[in-house]
Structures are given as structure tokens and as C-alpha cells.
Amino acid sequence: MDELIKLRATCVLKCLALTVLSVLSLSPAAAGDETEQLLLEKFRAGNYSSSGADTCLRCHDDAATAASFLQSVHGDTASPHGPMAKLQCETCHGPRGKHRGRNEPMIQFGASANVSPELQNSVCLSCHMQDADESWHLGTHDIEDLACADCHQVHAANDPIRDPVGQVTKCTSCHLEQRAAMNKRSHHPLAGAQAGSVMTCVSCHNPHGSLSEADLNSVSLNDNCVGCHAEFRGPVLWEHEPVVEDCSTCHEPHGSVNDALLAQRAPQLCQGCHASDGHVSRVLDNSSDAFVAGQSCLNCHSQVHGSNHPSGALLSQ
């Protein structure tokens, strides 16, 4: 039987491999437009300028732009790993070749981009995607064909997206549902929603991709949450199973019409999992009842995240 399973697995994997090769052979060769092809050919030819950045700055001499660039992280001539320590302007814009005005293009980014997002990003990724804590390749924003320059201003001394409010503004310009949730009854104190807050989308998510669900910074959702809510990290003597399972079992992290980011209010939330004989299995409909009013189930079972009291098995102490 084992041999049969191995044989079948082998056949399936070989078929998949053949499919991959077939897809490749059937896919049209990278067509690209003329500019892309020209720039790729220039890149392969590697005819770099004779004077480096001095060559470029002779024409691209707008004082404010140059000053801003030289104040930026990419213009830092002292950085041992920055573009100025490598091929200077041509690190990103490609070899000069015969470029002299409009006669021959250089690689451009952002609003004036002349190559696809994938090709633009291949420049940035040369240095940045070697960061081991990021996984851009085939991540959410890569699949969406986002270019790095769609979010970043790489020549600016202060890239707006590095500011807390600028960062949240940028993310929510596409993530409309999350922007809306910032005004719900309960929500996290994101920059912009609360003046002066340092919390941003990037406090939890890695927009450059990660190996975690929803591109979270931490390995798991709970790891992310206890980064700020360390009092719930535990372990404690009496654990509550859904807390160990996943914080999102009960909470909506982007905002909720209920207090405390709860997906449902108590007692309904609690009765979704508890129906033992007695008060828990009853219909609870009267706000003059201690099972509904005040903090509902939490009037007595206030330790829903776990208790370290020796007599805390019912999460009440």
C-alpha cells in the first residue's frame, strides 16, 4: 500500500512539474514595451558614466531637490551600504549609456515611471529585499503590482510615509474598510484618529510582506497582541481556552461597534461557547438583571483572560 501511495505521489508531483514547464513554454516571452526592452539592454551593456553623480548633477541641478536628496537616507554618502556607496545615481536609475536629455531614457519611478512596477521594484529589492524579516516576493502588495515608489518618496529628506500620520493616511487610502473602522465605537488609538499617537498600521503589519497571516510582524496573531498587552501573555494557572486559541476569537482588531473591540457583546459572546445548566443556559433579556447589566457575565467572571488565583478556576478571582 505504501509503495502505491509513493508511486501516486511521484506521479502527481511529476505532472505538476511538467505543468510548470508547459506553462512556461506556452507563456509568451516577456514582451514589454520598447522602453523596457531598451532599458534592459542598457542595463546588460553596463555603460556607466565616467564621473558618477557629478555627471547627473550637472543637469539635474535643482538646488532644493538635490539638497533634499542628499539629506535623505539614499543620498547619504557616508553610509557604507547605501546607493551612494555603490553606483551612486546609477545604482537605481541604471547605467547612463548615451543618455543626454530626452535622447535615451533612464529608469524612472513613481508618477513618471517608464517601466513596470515589477521592474521598478527589482531595483529597490536589490538592497531591501535581502532583509530577512521581510517577504515581498509574491506577498500581498507584490501580487497587487504595487511599486515601492507608490508609497515611498525615495528622494525626500523626510519620506512622508515614515511619519505616523502619513503612514496611516497612505495605507488607508486603499484599505477603505480599515479607515472606516478607525471611527467605530471602539478602535485602536491609531495616529490620525488620536492626535500624537505613535501607533500605526505598521505597528502590527509588515507592508513589505511576512510569513505570518495577514502579513503580521510577529509569528502569530497572539504574539502581535501581547507585544503591547503583555499582561495577557501568561502563562497563568487558570487559562481560558479561546485566549490560547486566538485573540481574534473574541476581538475585532480594526474596530467594533461594541466596547473593547469585541465581536459581540456579553452575554451573547459568552453564551456562544457556554451553555451549562443554570444561569448560562437561560435566555438573558432583562437589563435590570445582573446577568445583563453592568459588565454582564464579567460582573462575576472578570478574569476572562485567565486567572492566577488558586481558587480562580471559574475566572472570577
Partner 1 sequence: MKALITFLATWLVAAQLHADGFSLADANTSTIDRSKWQCKSCSLEGSAVSGDARLGIGAVDSDNDQIVNKFGSDDGGFAVLDARVNGRAGTGRYAFRADNLGTETGNADATYRAGGWGVDLGYAKLTTVESDTAVTPVSINGEVIGISDGYRPVDLEQERERVDLGLDYEFDLHSLELRAFADVYHETRQGDRSSSIGLDLRPANYAEPIDYTTTQYSGGVDIKGDRWASSVLWTTAVFDNDQRGLYAESGEAAKALAPENKSNLLLARANYSLGKTRIDVRLGREWLEQEENYITSLGVPNGITHYNGDVDVLKGGFKLGSRLSRRVKLAARYDYYDRENNSPVFEFDQRVIDGESGDPKENVRYDKTRHRVGLDSYWRLPLGIALDAGYLGEFIERSPASREDTDEHSVYLRARYSITPLHRLRGTARYSVRDGSDYRSLTADNNELRQYHLADRDRWQFEGAYIATPLDELNVELKLRYSDEDYDDTRIGLGEVEDYGYDLTANYRLHTDIDLTVFGGQQWVDRDQFGSEAILVREWSYETDDRYDYVGAGLRWDGLLADRLSLGADYVFSESDSETQVDPGEDYGDYYQWSHSTRLFAEYQWTETTSVRLDYRYERHRDFNFADVTDDAISGLTTLGVLGDRYNAQLLMVSVRYSM
Looking only at residues 208 through 227 of this chain, which bind partner 1 when binding is defined by CB under 8 A?
Answer: 211-213, 219-220
Work out how close the CB of 171 gets to partner 1 at its nearest, in angstroms, rounded to a whole number: 14
46: CB partners within 8 A, 6+ apart: 95
Q: Which amino acid is at 237?
A: L
Does the protein bind partner 1 through residue 298 (CB under 8 A)?
A: yes
d(C-alpha 74, C-alpha 296), whole Å: 56
**CA separation, residue 241 to residues 115, 238, 264, 273, 304 (Å):** 51, 9, 18, 11, 10
Does the protein bind partner 1 through residue 101 (CB under 8 A)?
A: no
Work out how close the CB of 35 gets to partner 1 at its nearest, in angstroms, rounded to a whole number: 13
Q: Which is nearer to partner 1, 101 or 196 (CB)?
A: 196
Does the protein bind partner 1 through residue 84 (CB under 8 A)?
A: yes
Burial (CB count <10 Å: 0-12, 13-18, 19+), residue 52: middle
Single residue of 110, 184, 216, 217 touching partner 1 by CB under 8 A: 184
Does the protein bind partner 1 through residue 38 (CB under 8 A)?
A: no
**Nearest residue to 202 (alpha-carbon basis) of 248, 171, 174, 225:** 171
From the list 97-105, 147-155, 251-259, the region that binds partner 1 by CB under 8 A is: 251-259
**How many residues at the interface with partner 1, by CB under 8 A?**
158
Single residue of 1, 4, 111, 283 touching partner 1 by CB under 8 A: 283
Work out how close the CB of 298 gets to partner 1 at its nearest, in angstroms, rounded to a whole number: 6
Work out how close the CB of 202 gets to partner 1 at its nearest, in angstroms, rounded to a whole number: 14
Q: Which amino acid is at 234?
A: G
291: CB partners within 8 A, 6+ apart: 267, 279, 282, 284, 297, 299
Single residue of 97, 164, 167, 171 touching partner 1 by CB under 8 A: 164
